[in-house]
Amino acid sequence: MAKGEHSTGIYDHLYRRFFANRDRHPGYDFQRAPGGSAQPPAVTFPEKLRWWSLDRWRRRKKILSERDRLQREIVEMSAGRSKERRP
**Longest CA–CA separation in the chain, Å:** 66
Please give the pLDDT value at position 84: 55
CB atoms within 10 A of CB 48: 6
CA–CA distance, 67 with 70 (Å, rounded to integer): 5
Q: Residue 80 pLDDT more than 70? A: yes
Long-range CB contacts (within 8 A, 24+) of 35-43: 41/66, 41/70
Domain limits, the chain: 42-87
Contacts for 70 with CB less than 8 Å, ≥ 6 apart: 41
Is the separation of the CB atoms in 59 and 45 below 8 Å?
A: yes
Q: Which residue has the higher pLDDT, 26 or 21?
A: 21
pLDDT at 85: 53
- Note the pTM of the prediction, 2 decimals: 0.42
pLDDT tens digits, one per residue of 24-78: 877 776 667 666 777 777 888 887 777 777 888 888 899 999 999 999 998 998 8
